[in-house]
């Protein structure tokens, strides 16, 4: 039982059959890689299985019973997700295949000849602002946009503690800035960024603001209207949902003003041989057969998270991260990359062990203890370069993790040190 009132972690673990797995050699699984991709509760798996078995048809285009049942379930999933993130309108929820696609969709809207709106015009002299702590998914689309339009890409630096350095905010976000896009929570440092000062500056200079909420939406209650930004991207597989489904939330009037991203069936109003007109949002951005069962599965994931309670999940993870931040530094030679206090940070801890390559750390933790962590640069290479290291080992916690699993990690790391003398 967790100390968070009413939160029964053992009860939650029963919903995730994989957590009872014994790995070869009889090792119990210790899954500390949810920042990469989370496990799925039986409720999500069963909803998807039931839909595929009894209700499956294509959405939007079939008049028969199965087509209509699928359409209703798919659109109901949109309603659930809109409510989950406080979207003012269900039409502001665009289903994509993942967070990367949602970020690319917005980046594509700029400097596109179809877009007549001044806010999306971009060329030499314009600036895009990101940060040094971004996942590649929130770097590369903006690099491509800068290359395509001649705009300049700029970024917030990161402090030694692993916080966003906003000292130069006034100069960095200026009259030339068209869009600011930053992580709500870092997938490496765990840092939760404070949005309001950056948003206030973006508003002052007339820039749009996007949040990559891939690591925050699964772990804390996120209300897009309260945040006040223009776009938010997140991804289903990190929030107990399936892979193959992501979400872009955008303000309705901005989505209306943006050009389509991909062309194809179901995103049109009418098609002639030489031109087309487009369906209203969100369908304008959902070309072709969408990830139907995945969207329905994400709806079930949101039901599951709501039933547990996002505030309870956040409190449980805070307890786990506080425990780990006490225990890990006692290991000689261990250096945490990111904030060392459980304040304004989530349940992701990346670290190095002096003289031992993270790949060896991950290998031994897996081989000997069945502990799944991620090693490498976690798709945030520039951030690792900033800290002068090629890679880290990352343990990331979720609602189903326990302090006993953190104890196992600590034991495993002591063993790693013994192996490497």
Ligand X SMILES: Cc1ncc(COP(=O)(O)O)c(C=O)c1O
Q: Which span sits near ligand X by CB under 6 A: 46-54, 208-216, 268-276, 400-408?
A: 208-216
Stretch that binds ligand X, among 92-100, 219-227, 320-328, 332-340 (CB under 6 A): 92-100
* Minimum separation from the CB atom of position 336 to ligand X (A): 18
Q: Could you tell me which of 344, 339, 352, 336 has the C-alpha nearest to residue 318?
A: 344
212 touches ligand X (CB under 6 A): yes
Query: C-beta of 187: minimal distance to ligand X in Å?
Result: 3
* # binding residues, ligand X (CB under 6 A): 14
- Beta-bridge partner residues of 376: 392
Which of 38, 70, 193, 215 touches ligand X by CB under 6 A? 215
Q: Which is nearer to ligand X, 38 or 100 (CB)?
A: 100
Helices vs strands, H then E, count in the chain: 14, 17
Given its phi and psi angles, is residue 140 left (phi above 0), alpha (psi -120 to 50 degrees) or beta? alpha
Backbone angles phi, psi at 141, to 5 degrees: -60, -35
Considering only residues 241 through 270, tell me which ones interact with ligand X, judged by CB under 6 A. 246
Nearer to ligand X, 246 or 339 (CB): 246
Helices (H), 181-282: 196-205, 224-227, 252-257
The contacts of residue 401 (CB under 8 Å, 6+ apart) are 9, 31, 32, 34, 320, 347
Question: What is the contact mask toward ligand X in residues 345 to 364, using x (rule: CB under 6 A)?
Answer: --------------------
Gap between the Cα atoms of 137 and 128, Å rounded: 15
CA pair distance 128, 121, nearest whole angstrom: 12
Peptide bond into 282 cis (omega under 30): yes
Member of 181, 214, 401, 417 binding ligand X (CB under 6 A): 214
Single out the catalytic residue among 364, 379, 383, 409.
379
**Shortest distance, CB of residue 378 to ligand X, whole angstroms?**
7
Element (H, E) at 74: helix 65-84
Q: Are 166 and 189 in contact (CB under 8 A)?
A: no
Nearest approach, Cβ of residue 324 and ligand X (Å)? 19
Give me the residue label for tokens 């809109």.
82
- Residues 120-159: x/- map of binding to ligand X (CB under 6 A)? ---------------x-xx---------------------
Site string for ligand X, 286-315 (x = CB under 6 A): ------------------------------
Near ligand X by CB under 6 A, which window of 79-87, 209-217, 310-318, 354-362?
A: 209-217
Asked if 148 and 104 touch (Cβ cutoff 8 Å), the reply is no
The answer to whether 100 contacts ligand X (rule: CB under 6 A) is: yes
Using the minimum distance from each CB to ligand X, give the nearer residue, 213 or 313: 213
Nearer to ligand X by Cβ, of 39 and 187: the residue is 187
Q: Which of residues 378-417 bind ligand X (CB under 6 A)?
A: 379
Buried b (16+ CB within 10 A) or exposed e, 346-379: bbbbbbbbeebebeebbebbbeebbbbbbbbbbb
How far separated are the first and last CA of the chain, in Å rounded?
Answer: 37
Tell me which of 38, 70, 98, 401 binds ligand X, using CB under 6 A: 98
| Whether residue 379 lies in the annotated active site | yes
Residues classed as catalytic: 379
Q: Which residues bind ligand X (CB under 6 A)?
A: 98-100, 135, 137-138, 183, 187, 212, 214-215, 235, 246, 379
């Amino acid at each position: 039982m967790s100390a968070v009132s009413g939160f029964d972690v053992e009860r939650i673990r029963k919903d995730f059959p994989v957590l009872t797995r014994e790995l070869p050699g009889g090792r119990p699984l210790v899954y500390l890689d949810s920042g990469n991709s989370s496990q799925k509760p039986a409720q999500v798996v069963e909803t998807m299985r039931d839909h595929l078995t009894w209700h499956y048809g294509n959405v939007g285009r079939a008049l028969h019973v199965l087509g209509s049942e699928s359409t209703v379930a798919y659109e109901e999933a949109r309603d659930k997700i809109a409510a989950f993130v406080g979207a003012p309108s269900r039409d502001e929820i665009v289903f994509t295949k993942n967070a990367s696609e949602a970020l690319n969709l917005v980046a594509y809207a700029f400097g596109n000849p179809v877009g007549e709106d001044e806010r999306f015009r971009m060329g030499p002299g314009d600036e895009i602002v990101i940060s040094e702590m971004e996942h590649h998914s929130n770097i590369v689309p903006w690099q491509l946009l800068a290359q395509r339009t001649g705009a300049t890409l700029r970024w917030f630096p990161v402090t030694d503690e692993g916080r966003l350095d906003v000292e130069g905010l006034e100069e960095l976000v200026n009259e030339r800035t068209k869009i600011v896009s930053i992580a709500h929570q870092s997938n490496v440092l765990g840092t939760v960024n404070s949005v309001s000062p950056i948003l206030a500056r973006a508003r002052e200079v007339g820039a749009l603001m996007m949040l990559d909420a891939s690591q925050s939406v699964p772990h804390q209650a996120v209300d897009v209207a309260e945040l006040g930004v223009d776009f938010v991207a997140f991804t289903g597989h990190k929030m107990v949902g399936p892979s193959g489904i992501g979400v872009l939330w955008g303000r309705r009037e901005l989505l209306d003003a943006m050009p389509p991203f991909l062309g194809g069936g179901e995103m049109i109003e009418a098609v002639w041989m030489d031109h087309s007109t487009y369906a209203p949002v969100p369908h304008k951005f959902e070309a072709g057969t969408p990830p139907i069962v995945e969207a329905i599965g994400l709806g079930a994931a949101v039901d599951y998270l709501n039933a547990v309670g996002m505030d309870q999940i956040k409190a449980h993870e805070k307890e786990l991260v506080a425990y780990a931040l006490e225990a890990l530094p006692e290991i000689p030679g261990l250096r945490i990359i990111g904030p060392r206090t459980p304040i304004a940070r989530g349940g992701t801890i990346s670290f190095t062990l002096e003289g031992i390559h993270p790949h060896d750390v991950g290998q031994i933790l897996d081989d000997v203890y069945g502990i799944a962590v991620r090693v490498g640069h976690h798709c945030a290479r520039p951030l690792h370069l900033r800290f002068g290291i090629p890679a880290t080992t990352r343990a990331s916690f979720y609602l189903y993790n326990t302090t006993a699993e953190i104890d196992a990690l600590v034991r495993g790391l002591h063993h790693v040190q013994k192996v490497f003398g």
